[in-house]
Structure 1
Amino acid sequence: MSDLMAGIIVGIVALPLAIAFGIASGVAPEKGIITAIIAGFIISLMGGSKVQIGGPTGAFIVIIYGIVQQYGEAGLIVATLIAGVLLVLLGVFKLGAVIKFIPYPIIVGFTSGIAVTIFTTQIADIFGLTFGGAKLPGDFIGKWLMYFEHFGTINWWNTAVSIVSVFIIVITPKFSKKIPGSLIAIVLVTVIVYFMKLYGGIDCIPTIGDRFTINAELPEAVVPPLNWAAINDLFPVAITIAVLGAIESLLSATVADGVIGDRHDSNTELIAQGAANIITPLFGGIPATGAIARTMTNINNGGKTPVAGIIHAVVLLLILLFLMPLAQYIPMACLAGVLVIVSYNMSGWRVFKALLKNPRADVTVLLITFILTVIFDLTVAIEIGLVIACILFMKRVMETTKISVITDEINLHEEQDSSLPEENLVIPKDVEVYEISGPYFFGVATKFEETMAQLGDYPKVRIIRMRRVPFIDSTGIHNLTSLCEMSHKDKITVILSGVNPQVNEALEKSGFYELIGKENICPNINVALERAKEIVE
């Protein structure tokens, strides 16, 4: 019974959001509901979370709008299908955990950027601006320039409708926890505007019916024509849809886990998200993912199993079939007010402000991702944000990896791999000891070469202590190989000391030990120094 009630309430909550997201994305309003029905059903039926509610979300508005403007709805279908396949592959190959490694500043940066962009797209409907037949530009700066240029066409009735809608949504939680403010605002404002038109002669407030013809039925499945050129053009955008969908769905499932004390299966969830994004576009739907707000509404109203999500989809289907014609009376300014609240909640400005106090590298990633999302697009923002985050991460790792040179004594009070704890180890003449502390990867390899080049001397033995090297990559192995080959030319023997099992396995597989000789691989510094004495003498 609790799942039944939760499903009904979530279906009602999802209705105005699905309509608003569909229109804001540049498609017909019923396509938002179709997405919520089909994707919501599949995600609840197949997903790895018991309480996840899937459907269209605000995060996709900017991407979908851009695709529709450039490639049309046929291009959107192809991009969504590709994204669905990518999500399924992520789940099949157990890569659900990898998505969680995307840095938090990137997630906050593009989420806040999307919120600003959504707000920007609603300015025309909030103020009722008209552009004299001119097409509104797709870019952020172009939009604002046109808004300022045509601000003299403001329709104050539209503005009043938007303000009233926002006010109703804001105050609703103070007297109603069950019924969403967006639904109350849409019902009340639609009724008021309807009677104003009917009896007041006020006919200057555009509604959904003025711009769209609503089809109150589920369309037949249509497989779009696929060709390599379209796939090639849309593949980068599809990657963005897949990554964003994976992030949002797993983030939503994780938040739900914390509330209900459960643990979702991230890979199963990704497969379900992929299946939803493969099937939904065949019926004209748009990209879908897990929705945090609707998932929390489900939990707060007693949802405990996937049955609640399935019922939510059935409720939306009934609304589409029997009540959808009434949606034509909803004012566009009212939907704009709903999306203003969505963008405000999505902005996470408190988190954004808090992150500005973090280390400079994190702030750099946050601001660059935010600015690129707003000024350019989400695809560019995620790509460049990830590259910058990786570079800064490698820089931090390089800074933590230290290379030191010891030529006289080793203090055993600071050692862990020595078997003689009460005396210092004296380094014999013509022997140098190099210690590497930290990962030995491509960012550090040249650092070791530079350290040796600065010394410029030629001992008989070089001992490289690797007890504090957790891993080594192919560049590190190549660097060591080059060092040994150069040392052999200069008649210098290289000895490795304290190599851990993981690094030892990597070196052995690469054939490095055939070059250096297994007798020069020592378990600790004591054995390494004894071996060095033998060579020197």
Structure 2
Amino acid sequence: MKAVASIRALLPRRSDYAAIPRTWKGDLVAGVTVGIVALPLALAFGVSSGAGAASGLITAVVAGFIAAVFGGSNVQVSGPTGAMVVVLGPVIAAHGIAALAVVTVLAGLLVITAGALKLGRVVTFLPWPVIEGFTLGIAVIIFLQQVPAAFGVLAGPSANAAVSAAQSLATVPWPEIAAPVGLVVLVAVIMIGAPRIHPQMPGSILAIIAATVLAALLDLPTARIGALPDSLPAPMLPEFDSATLLALAAPAATIAALAAIESLLSARVATSISDTGPYDADRELVGQGLASVASGFFGGMPATGAIARTAVNIRSGARTRLAAIVHAAVLLGVVYLATGPVSQIPLAALAGVLMVTAVRMVSRATVRAIVGSTRADALVFLVTAVITVSLDLIEAVQIGVLVAAFFALRSMVATSGVHREVIPGPAHSGDGHIAVFRLDGALFFGAAERVLEKVTEIQNVDVVIIRMSQLQVLDATGARVVSEMVTALERRGITVLIKGIQDRHLALVTRVGVLESLRHHKHLFAELAPAVEHARSHVRRDHEPTPE
């Protein structure tokens, strides 16, 4: 029964649509609005990835619908995104367009598996500077990937976006660049200016229309999208063989990781900016995985939740999944009714849309906040961004997390320590032979050795009291160091008393052998006063005059 309940929790339910009678008007408006916004992005991301405009459009339709129905967020909008373009381009370049369906389905199955295994909350362990550095790196890559189309030339042979952009610039026929560059500038001006005229104006679609009309009227010599299918293709099962699976296993894992991270981050952002209820992280993974699998069957790309489109959806009045479903229906209408005009869109215009989108991905306020917070966070942010651009997206996240973990451990080490205290109350004869040490903060593998050295180097004392009541974090290494500390002091003839082991640490110190290392089981105390009195009794016994 528990397994059945777990499966049912990952599936659609009637409650997903309970609010529609009250919200359907807002949902319809939001769905149409975000569908118009998504059209140029779907086409542009498809072209930029190497899969083609048709693949981007199919992904937005099929994956957008499946994720809306099966996902864990009420307002998430899914489709092709920049992160997917960045990682998918090299895969298609290396393995050919035939690999697209296979890697898309494989990645989707991996994401479904992650959701079924309840791994949805893992993304909450990613530090904020890592996420923002990753986003900055992706934005830079997307911008650089558009440089060839913006200048009307082919991309350079390098797999690195920066190097490829530089290589393409070396082949620019400078007298002939006026047309593509002019269209890019026109698109950028309209996209930046439209929201200033009215916040609800769809700047990207207006820019695409203006650029397409201008290119047609002036017969500009710029490349166009070209022919698009006027209907959805029939679903087909990709051809799997052992060699293909082996070659695409690593790229599929990378795509799956990116899809999971971006989708969950987008869903979390949606929850923070709307009052449409919490999201189910595990169900979101299952929904996004199913969306990618379905997209692969129809010849589309891997899909993820799209933060920008989701934000537009919420700002336009979306409250239920109906809005994202309508968004997919709008794009489906484009497939069946408007592929002719869409095929005439200049590639330079799509490049302009993505360049502006890339710039908007980076929040200047966020960058200032991170850079101005701490040097450690600023370094994590910059390292993640640089590695994203220069090496690999997953490596960037991994290294960023490792750098963040290093600084977090260093901070924990700095807050941990051992301090010698004065015995409270009136002084007694012989108190100089008693040392009281208080362990603070965290005693773990990063700080344990320093604590051990400071305590064991004590000289000219007969009794050491170790106070552990202020210890917040204790791991196996720290507990073992306490045991070694006791053993080393007892070996020198110094009696060790331990005071204040917290209940949550008691099982650990017992298993590691701390209590066994004490000379007597009565040397464990709950309060300091009895421990001090016991220590003084030892001193009096050892230093009282011998009767003649």
After TM superposition, the score normalised by the length of structure 1 is: 0.86
1:207 maps to 2:224: yes
| Stretch of structure 1 that moved more, 385-394 or 182-191 | 182-191
Indicate conservation of the 8 Å contact 1:40/1:309, yes or no.
Answer: yes
Contact 1:161 1:333 (8 Å CA) reproduced: yes
Cα deviation 1:479-512 (Å, max 9, x = unaligned): 2233334344334443321122211232234454
Segments of 5+ residues of structure 2 without an aligned counterpart are 1-23, 542-548
Q: Which residue of structure 2 aligns with residue 225 of structure 1?
A: 240
Counterpart amino acid of 1:163?
Answer: V
CA distance in 2, matches of 1:160, 1:145: 20
Decide which of 177, 191, 210 is 1:188's aligned counterpart. Answer: 210
- The aligned residue for residue 419 of structure 1 is none
Aligned residue number for residue 417 of structure 1: none
Match of 1:259 in 2: 273
2:56 aligned residue: 32
Question: Residue deviations 1:26-61, cap 9 Å, x none?
Answer: 212121122222222222212222111111112322
The 1:253/1:233 distance shift into structure 2, 3 A limit, reads closer
The aligned counterpart of 2:486 is 484
Deviations 1:145-164 (A, max 9, x none): 31342234452111111111
Shift of the alpha carbon at 1:294? 1.6
**Structure 1 residues 484 and 72: CA distance shift in structure 2, 3 A:** farther
| Aligned match of 1:521 | 524
Matched residue, 2:188: 166
Secondary structure, in 3 states, of the residue corresponding to 2:125? Answer: coil
- Residues 77 and 138 of structure 1: is their aligned pair in 2 closer, same or farther, counting only changes over 3 Å? same
Equivalent in the alignment of 1:496: 498
The residue identity in structure 2 corresponding to 1:391 is F
Alpha carbons of 1:70 and 1:514: their partners in 2 closer, same or farther (altered >3 Å)? farther
Partners of 2:54 and 2:170 in 1: how far apart? 33
User: Once the 2 structures are TM-superposed, how far is the Cα of residue 377 of structure 1 from its aligned partner?
Assistant: 2.4
Change (3 A) 1:438 1:176: same
SS of 1:129 mapped into structure 2: coil
Q: Which moved more, 1:34-43 or 1:316-325?
A: 316-325
Deviations 1:128-158 (A, max 9, x none): 1358xxx532214422431342234452111
> Is 1:293 the counterpart of 2:317 in the alignment?
no
Q: Shift in Å at residue 342 of structure 1?
A: 0.7
Q: Corresponding residue for 1:464?
A: 466
Q: Does the residue aligned with 1:263 lie in a helix, a strand or coil?
A: coil
Q: Percent identity?
A: 34
How far apart, CA to CA, are the structure 2 residues paired with 1:74 and 1:523? 70
Q: Output aligned runs, 1:96-495, within 5 Å.
A: 96-129=120-153, 135-153=156-174, 154-197=176-219, 202=220, 204-209=221-226, 214=229, 216-225=231-240, 227=242, 230-231=245-246, 234-235=249-250, 237-261=251-275, 262-406=277-421, 409-411=422-424, 428=431, 430-453=433-456, 455=457, 457=459, 459-495=461-497
Q: Return the alpha-carbon distance in structure 2 between the equivalents of residues 439 and 28 of structure 1.
A: 54
Residues in 2 aligned to 1:324 and 1:213: alpha-carbon distance in whole angstroms: 6
SS where residue 439 of structure 2 aligns? strand
Native 8 Å contact 2:499 2:528 kept in 1: yes
What is the rounded CA distance, in whole Å, between the counterparts of 1:242 and 1:49 in structure 2? 19
Amino acid paired to 1:206: A
Deviation at 1:19, TM superposition (A): 0.8
User: In the TM superposition, what whole-angstrom CA distance separates every residue of 1:372-400 from its partner, at most 9, and x where no partner exists?
Assistant: 12222222221211111110110111011
Is the contact between residue 108 and residue 348 of structure 1 (CA under 8 Å) also seen in structure 2? Answer: no
Give the whole-Å Cα distance in 2 for the aligned partners of 1:36 and 1:54. 7
C-alpha distance in 2, partners of 1:519/1:79?
A: 65
Question: Over aligned residue pairs, what C-alpha RMSD do you find?
Answer: 2.8
Kept in 1, the 8 Å contact 2:103–2:248? The answer is no
Secondary structure in 2 aligned to 1:151? Answer: coil
2:7 is matched with which residue? none
Which secondary structure does the structure 2 equivalent of 1:410 belong to? coil
SS across alignment from 1:437: strand
Mean Cα deviation higher: 282-291 or 80-89: 80-89
Between stretches 369-378 and 505-514, larger displacement belongs to: 505-514
Give the conservation status (yes or no) of the 8 Å contact 1:250–1:269: yes
Q: Do 1:51 and 1:306's aligned partners in 2 also have CA atoms closer than 8 Å? A: yes
Query: Cα–Cα, structure 1 residues 522 and 255, in superposed 2: closer, same or farther, change >3 Å?
Result: same
CA shift for structure 1 position 346: 0.9
Name the amino acid aligned to 1:470: Q
Query: CA contact under 8 A between 1:411 and 1:425: conserved in structure 2?
Result: no
- Structure 1 counterpart of 2:271, which letter? D
Cα-to-partner distance string for 1:409-454 (whole Å, 9 max, x where unaligned): 3347xxxxxxxxxx6799845432221110111111111122135x
1:62 to 78, 82, 86: 86
Q: Distance in 2 between matches of 1:393 and 1:174?
A: 42
**Matched residue count:** 513
- Comparing 99-108 with 504-513, greater Cα deviation is found at 504-513
